[in-house]
Amino acid sequence: MLNWRGGKPVIRFGTSGWRAVISDEFTFANLRRLTRAIAGVVSRRTGEPARLAVGYDTRFLSERFAAEAAKVLAEAGGPAYLSGEPLPTPVLAFAITHLGLDGGLNITASHNPPEYNGLKFSTAQGAPAPREITDQIEAQLAHVSDDPVVDQHAELLSLAPREAYFARLQELVDVDALRRRPLRVGFDARFGTSRGWLDRFLEESGATVVRVNDRRDPLFGGGTPECSGANLKSLKQAVKAEGLDLGLATDGDGDRFGVVDRDGKEMPPNMILALLADDLLRTRAWAGGIGRTVATTHLLDRIGALHGRELYETPVGFKHFQSLMEKGAIFMGGEESAGFSVAGHVPEKDGILAGLLVAELVARRGPGLGAHLHALFAEIGPLYSHRRDRRFNPESREILELRLKEVPASLAGESVRRTVSIDGTKWIRHDGAWLMVRLSGTEPVVRLYAEAADEATVSHLLDQGEALLP
């Protein structure tokens, strides 16, 4: 987010980095300011020149923005490690920890429309920077310039983490299961950074991969790089036409996943998180509980109870799982917006790893994720969840906030048992169904979430949530 104060642009971090429209707000000058602010904050915290990695996605000018950021870092004393190819965000996060760096910058606007670009800043732990650090970066912006780099011949170090990242995947994924039952998998990289990463690992593990949208296109085929909904039309068609076992997708920077079952139907991220949590608990001896954000399915609560594991609920944002993973409290973290990772990897969403673990599940148990889900429902009970995003007049924000402080007399005809307010407002009924309302911190958008044992109740809950909007 960016606005203007006293003639200077004011850059604000959202849940996952800074995003803005190319040329209008996302400019080389603003990028230099932000990079200098990051380098300054990191140097103050470490007492030495910042040692940072720089990656980029497949958007317009991303590689040139990345090179400019790397030059700024080298000017500040470096060293600066610059990727020579588009780099998925989880791979950059892994490279930071593998090389023992102080952090990293990825030039990406993730799943946003093509007119946007952005910057994600990851800490030395490979995690999205927490608010404590981004607040310091925003404050530092007032003390740095946007001047061009003086030394145009700064030496940049090469960042090439493919071999090490694949070795980590070999430790986390049961490759033998993939090889025992070679799959035919469709893969849609959404014209983004996962090309040559997820598909290559699958092929090296014995799978046959049918690729769609397998080229760089800064316009993302006329759509967005999201890996859900109408964007998966080509993948769904390929799965059905080719008789494939499974379809996998990742968003523009590879941190989110999308899954299509063998019948060509998209599997919601919440359902995939439930299947993965249950499968990992049955096949691994990993210690710890399950982490989920407040807006994510309570199927994970039931799976935790089934296997005797504790459930940890956090605010929205994958950065909240870092400390839980570091201290061994959770073996996996998941969020409804298709975010997933496991302990022993990086505390960052990894759509590549998620896709590979889904393929492993199918290779071991057979195609038909829908059937596996219904078998899980038979054991723990069904839950269905949906989300609606609605824009609203910013001037009516206070009215909505006041309404959210009142507990509804009932939700879709049932009484409310408790309210959760760690991020937004979430009302939970006595039968476990719930409605959540959360206002975006960066744009005039309200997000409505609901979950219940049947689709009709979910729809009624969301309608009730919309009725609250001024």
Contacts for 282 with CB less than 8 Å, ≥ 6 apart: none
Active-site residue, 158 included: no
Q: How many CA atoms lie within 13 A of 229 on its CB side?
A: 9
Rounded to whole angstroms, the Cα distance separating 28 from 35 reads 10
Contact 254, 197 (CB under 8 A): yes
Sequence-distant contacts of 283-289: CB under 8 A, at least 24 apart: 283/174, 283/364, 284/331, 286/331, 286/342, 286/343, 286/344, 287/328, 287/331, 288/328, 288/329, 288/330, 288/331, 288/343, 289/329, 289/330, 289/331
Beta pairing, strands 425-429 & 434-439? antiparallel
The tokens for 313 are 């609920």
The tokens for 279 are 């499968």
Which class for 283: exposed (0-12), middle (13-18), buried (19 or more C-beta within 10 A)? middle
Rounded to whole angstroms, the Cα distance separating 14 from 160 reads 28
The catalytically annotated residue of 16, 62, 110, 122 is: 110
Rounded to whole angstroms, the Cα distance separating 182 from 383 reads 32
Contacts for 402 with CB less than 8 Å, ≥ 6 apart: none
Structural element, H or E, at residue 73: helix 62-75
Residues that are catalytic: 110
